[in-house]
């Protein structure tokens, strides 16, 4: 590498790595005790804390040759923060268990840390603690906390027949980006970036709760599969109107290049972390939401009058 010596996390040792990470992480107003002790402490003024966790494994959830350390940090934080806002809560803090190969460069680690920091900064949360260990693969165990501010949590089980089904945020972009990368395509850049770094519509989650959303979730495994969970938990049927989905120019272009139907990415692609929610018909939805269907008596998810299998991601079957 230009004859320069690359400093690795193995050179720093465990405590050097921890110190290096901690000094890049400012602690925001929700944090009462940050990194450096047996545990951290975060405000939970509501008297209830919302908590979610995800485990990301190199080669399954990200590739270091396809995504930068910064993008991986952004994405790992985003998918957890998105689960918090999908309950209607405001994210407060995250903790990260980090498995690192000893030969990982410290510059890469700094980028990863900055990615976590910057994504949390979007929602006023902080990285409050973590754990570092050696592993042949990069492994990220991310847990996010949130506060409901007195609101009721919006679960998957509250949809009622007659509710409208609406989505906000990108759909199908990350899946298209992944397909393009796998095919060796160099663009459209917007879609490649969508795979590398989701852009969840964070503010829409707590706002939807305040508007009276009856159910909500973050679209992580594909819209059909995720709405299938809502249908099952709420004991309703969901009818999607495919013509209601906006197909962007970049999705059309990518679908053309790869010879596929872009609606497939929209209905079955994961990883964009859009929000899907149901609302009573009486709710006047702000422009950020697109109505794409309705809940009715019945079961499962129907598109164009056909029951759809839940075509989404299964980590043990793919």
Which residues between 89 and 148 bind its own copies (CB under 8 A)?
Answer: 89, 93, 95-100, 102, 128-135, 139, 141-146, 148
Please report how the helices 106-121 and 69-85 are oriented relative to each other, as an axis angle in degrees rounded to 10. Answer: 30
Q: Does 300 bind its own copies (CB under 8 A)?
A: no
Q: Is 313 annotated as contributing to ligand binding?
A: yes
Print the binding letters for residues 1-20 with its own copies: x by CB under 8 A, - otherwise. --------xx-xxxx-x---
Q: How far apart are CA 48 and CA 172, in angstroms?
A: 34
Q: How far is the CB of 267 from its own copies (least distance, A)?
A: 18
d(CA 212, CA 166): 13
Give the H or E element holding residue 12: helix 9-22
Residue 37 is labelled as binding a ligand: no
Contact with its own copies (CB under 8 A) among 153, 162, 264, 300: 153
What is the CB neighbour count within 10 angstroms for residue 37?
A: 9
Is the Cβ of residue 227 or residue 255 nearer to its own copies in the bound state?
A: 227
What's the min distance (Å) between Cβ of 253 and its own copies?
Answer: 32
In whole angstroms, the minimum distance from the beta carbon of 58 to its own copies comes to 10
- With CB under 8 A as the contact rule, the residue among 119, 218, 271, 272 that binds its own copies is 218
The reply, when asked if residue 272 is annotated as ligand binding, is no
Annotated binding-site residue? 143: no
Residue among 260, 274, 264 nearest 312 (CA):
264
Question: What's phi and psi for 39, nearest 5 deg?
Answer: -150, 160
What is the residue whose two structure tokens read 């990350």?
A: 174
Sequence-ordered alpha helix ranges (H) in 140-201 = 173-182, 189-196
Q: Write out the binding residues for its own copies, residues 21-60 only, by CB under 8 A.
A: 32-33, 36-57, 60
Please give the annotated binding residues for Mg(2+), written as ranges. 38, 52-54, 83, 131, 218, 221
């Amino acid at each position: 590498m230009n004859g320069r010596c690359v400093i690795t996390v193995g050179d720093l040792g465990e405590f050097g790595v921890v110190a290096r990470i901690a000094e890049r992480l400012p602690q925001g107003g929700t944090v009462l005790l940050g990194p450096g002790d047996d545990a951290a402490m975060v405000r939970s003024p509501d008297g209830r804390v919302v908590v979610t966790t995800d485990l990301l494994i190199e080669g399954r959830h990200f590739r270091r040759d396809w995504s930068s350390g910064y993008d991986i940090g952004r994405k790992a934080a985003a998918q957890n923060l998105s689960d918090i806002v999908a309950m209607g809560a405001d994210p407060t803090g995250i903790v990260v268990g980090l498995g690192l190969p000893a030969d990982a460069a410290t510059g890469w680690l700094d980028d990863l840390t900055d990615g976590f920091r910057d994504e949390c900064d979007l929602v006023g949360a902080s990285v409050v603690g973590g754990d570092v260990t050696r592993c042949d693969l990069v492994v990220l165990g991310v847990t996010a906390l949130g506060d409901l501010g007195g609101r009721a949590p919006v679960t998957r089980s509250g949809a009622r027949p007659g509710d409208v089904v609406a989505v906000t945020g990108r759909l199908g972009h990350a899946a298209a980006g992944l397909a393009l990368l796998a095919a060796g395509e160099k663009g459209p850049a917007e879609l490649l970036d969508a795979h590398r770094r989701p852009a969840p519509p964070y503010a829409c989650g707590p706002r939807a709760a305040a508007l009276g959303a009856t159910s909500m979730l973050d679209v992580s495994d594909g819209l059909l599969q995720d709405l299938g969970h809502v249908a099952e938990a709420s004991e309703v049927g969901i009818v999607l109107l495919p013509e209601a989905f906006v197909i962007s120019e970049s999705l059309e272009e990518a679908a053309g290049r790869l010879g596929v139907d872009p609606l497939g990415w929209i209905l079955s692609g994961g990883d964009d972390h859009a929000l899907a929610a149901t609302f009573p018909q009486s709710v006047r939805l702000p422009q950020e939401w697109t109505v794409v269907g309705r809940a009715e008596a019945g079961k499962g998810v129907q598109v164009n009058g056909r029951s759809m299998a839940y075509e989404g991601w299964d980590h043990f079957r793919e």
